[in-house]
Structure 1
């Protein structure tokens, strides 16, 4: 069962489009564009986990999902870049934060 969280997806509407596809992007605030990569939980009619979204204007979202101007690999690369920009912008705007503490006894990223 893929992870679903409407509140998480709603964050996409609070940051600008992160794709900026030349000749396509209409700018402005985005909407959640789920990953189309199986490594993020995409499969058949099943959307990726809700944590794997990038903020996209309507035109960029349509191009990534149904457009024919880019290869599959180009779309994956564009989505990956937009995902990284989206996550960074969410942190910069204080829309995501860490709560609680690490229970494992070491900081995330430290060697176990």
Structure 2
């Protein structure tokens, strides 16, 4: 542990990892969102939650990214993301595109009446975390532009169930 000249330890505050075991469990048997050409095996039986490998998503030395920065990925794509010799730029691009698809799938899943409550709660948690991180609007907009979600035209009086965090200027 780093210390000061006087020998007292330097305490470095680390934000706790945002985890949701139901969200990770929900990945099982889902379609691959990474869809990496030449690597995707399209086998839902091998799908797991693939976490981001970038610090802005909570990744650190010996620390996985926060669970809301996780996408469904088959074993082939997961291996490509974590171990293949592709450039970081290629991996980041594929992950970001998959995150857009993931948000669209979460939104579609919430419309499923047979979705178990624990998964519905987990999806709402993930969307709330993305909203807190000020990423949800952008990801939803990209999903609409990609034709993955239908645009919503809501009345001005509509209030989102997600709290809006305003920053002071």
Using the size of structure 1 for normalisation, the TM-score is 0.81
In the alignment, which residue of structure 2 is the partner of 1:83?
Answer: 99
Greater alpha carbon shift after TM alignment, 11-20 vs 80-89: 11-20
In the alignment, which residue of structure 1 is the partner of 2:43?
Answer: 28
Residue by residue over 1:8-36, the C-alpha shift from the partner in whole angstroms, topping out at 9 and shown as x without a partner, is 11122252001111111000322100000
Question: Distance in 2 between the 1:84 and 1:75 partners?
Answer: 14
Question: Distance in 2 between the 1:82 and 1:110 partners?
Answer: 25
Q: 1:77 to 1:109 in 2, by over 3 A?
A: farther
The alignment covers a number of residue pairs equal to 104
Runs of 4+ in 1 over 3 A off after TM superposition: 95-98, 106-112
Question: Distance in 1 between the 2:20 and 2:163 partners?
Answer: 25
Per-residue deviation, 1:73: 1.0
In the alignment, which residue of structure 2 is the partner of 1:44?
Answer: 61
Residue by residue over 1:36-95, the C-alpha shift from the partner in whole angstroms, topping out at 9 and shown as x without a partner, is 010000011100011110100001001000101x20111011011111111211211224
Q: State the superposition RMSD in angstroms.
A: 2.2
Using the size of structure 2 for normalisation, the TM-score is 0.55
In the alignment, which residue of structure 2 is the partner of 1:15?
Answer: 30
Alignment check: 8 A CA contact 1:15 1:86 kept = no
Per-residue deviation, 1:4: 1.4
- Greater helix share, 1 or 2? 2
Equivalent position to 2:84, from 59, 62, 67: 67
Greater alpha carbon shift after TM alignment, 81-90 vs 55-64: 81-90
Q: Which has the larger radius of gyration?
A: 2
